[in-house]
Amino acid sequence: MKIKFWGVRGSIASPINGKMVEQKIREVLKLASPADILSPESIDRFLQTLPYSLKGTYGGNTTCIELITEEDQTIIIDAGTGLRQLGKSLVDNGKMTGKGEISIFLSHSHWDHIQGLMFFLPIYFKGNKIKFYSSVENLEERLRYQQIKTHFPLTLDEMAADKIFNHFPEGVTEELYGLEFTSKAVRHPGGCFSYKFTQPDGKSFVFCSDAEFSIETMDNIEAYIEYFRNADVLVFDTQYTFEESLQKIDWGHSSAAIATDIAIKSNVKKLILFHHEPFYDDAKMDLVTINAFKYKDMTAPSHFLKIETAYEGMEIDI
Ligand SMILES: [Zn+2]
Ligand SMILES: [Zn+2]
């Protein structure tokens, strides 16, 4: 399977502004020498040396991940504002223009995870089939409520595509497009579910955002470690720094340090830091990444775990 990130931010969409772009240009110009800008090739070489915060941006859209199966079927995880561009890309590629089918898994119904649905172009094409999967029992009711006329001009029924709602209870394993999937409830205000997808060859992808973990105080931590065990890729809520996570108990999010501890205990191969704090700019996200590397090197230097920070457009083959 292939994973593509369309929205990586937590809580609220947070695009960068003109001042931030100007600041990046200023920093880059300070770093460049005359030799760096002599030719297109030297410029390319120079760009490669820059930190990610200067040559790009982690992105401001909220949670939306695309999973493309070996059978070339699309599964979407969460419908944050990143879903808008994913929908446009599907239509532009002729995939969802009236005869297409995709499945959308929703972890919970906080705004930052459902707000993109009304701007998802494929849902307006008659003949498209959109299958919703969730361990949230009354998901359809919640999505209908989001679109009553006082909140949005069109109701769910006025969107032309066929919409099919599938509830599956926590912990049950089912199959879709050649993948096995299951869910596990996580600690988060209002409730939230993590989803795990496993290929026939055993390779697995776990999405676990909007989740507050504490290794010391959680009685059932072993059950989670078993659930995450040997995952090839684990996308984990790391909205806070470690210090913030100690202050923001019960806010429903975790830190990169806690995520790293859990990933190491579970023998995860790759940990993706995700659901970034909206007040963190790109320079701060570079720092979060560096601190996560340092923490891992300090606590488990010989473990094979790789850590990366999610950014819009990031792709991973599993
Ligand atoms: Zn969220
Ligand atoms: Zn949430």
CATH number at residue 72: 3.60.15.10
Residue 100 lies in a domain: yes
CB 288 within 8 A of CB 309: yes
pLDDT at 242: 74
pLDDT at 216: 75
* Residues 6+ positions from 195 with CB-CB distance below 8 Å: 77, 105, 107, 181, 182, 183, 206, 207
Residue 64 lies in a domain: yes
pLDDT at 66: 98
Looking at the 3D structure of the chain, how many domains does it have?
2
- Ligand 1 center from residue 139 Cα (angstroms): 16
Task: State whether 28 and 8 are in the same domain.
Answer: no
CB 10 within 8 A of CB 276: yes
In the block, tokens 């990143």 appear at 82
pTM of the entire predicted model: 0.96
Residue 77 lies in a domain: yes
Task: State whether 283 and 150 are in the same domain.
Answer: yes
Task: State whether 47 and 156 are in the same domain.
Answer: no
Residue 317 lies in a domain: no
pLDDT at 254: 86
Which segments in the chain show pLDDT lower than 50? none
Task: State whether 108 and 254 are in the same domain.
Answer: yes
Task: State whether 152 and 247 are in the same domain.
Answer: yes
CB 293 within 8 A of CB 307: yes
Task: Kindly identify the ligand whose nearest atom is closest to the C-alpha of 136.
Answer: 2
- Ligand 2 center from residue 44 Cα (angstroms): 39
Residues with a beta carbon under 5 angstroms from ion ligand 1: 10, 112, 210
pLDDT at 280: 96
Task: State whether 206 and 83 are in the same domain.
Answer: yes
Task: State whether 105 and 167 are in the same domain.
Answer: yes
CB 239 within 8 A of CB 276: yes
- Ligand 2 center from residue 248 Cα (angstroms): 14
Task: State whether 227 and 119 are in the same domain.
Answer: yes
pLDDT at 271: 98
Residue 171 lies in a domain: yes
Residue 316 lies in a domain: no
Task: State whether 107 and 235 are in the same domain.
Answer: yes
Residue 264 lies in a domain: yes
* pLDDT tens-digit series, residues 258-287: 999 999 999 999 999 999 999 999 999 999
Task: State whether 167 and 225 are in the same domain.
Answer: yes
pLDDT at 24: 97
CB 109 within 8 A of CB 142: yes
Task: State whether 162 and 206 are in the same domain.
Answer: yes
- Ligand 1 center from residue 8 Cα (angstroms): 10
Q: In angstroms, what CA-CA distances link 85 with 3, 24, 44, 116, 235? A: 15, 25, 27, 9, 21
Task: State whether 47 and 29 are in the same domain.
Answer: yes
- Ligand 2 center from residue 176 Cα (angstroms): 25
* pLDDT tens-digit series, residues 184-233: 999 999 999 999 999 999 999 999 999 999 877 777 899 999 999 999 99
pLDDT at 245: 75
Query: Containing domain of residue 36, as a range?
Result: 18-55
Residue 318 lies in a domain: no
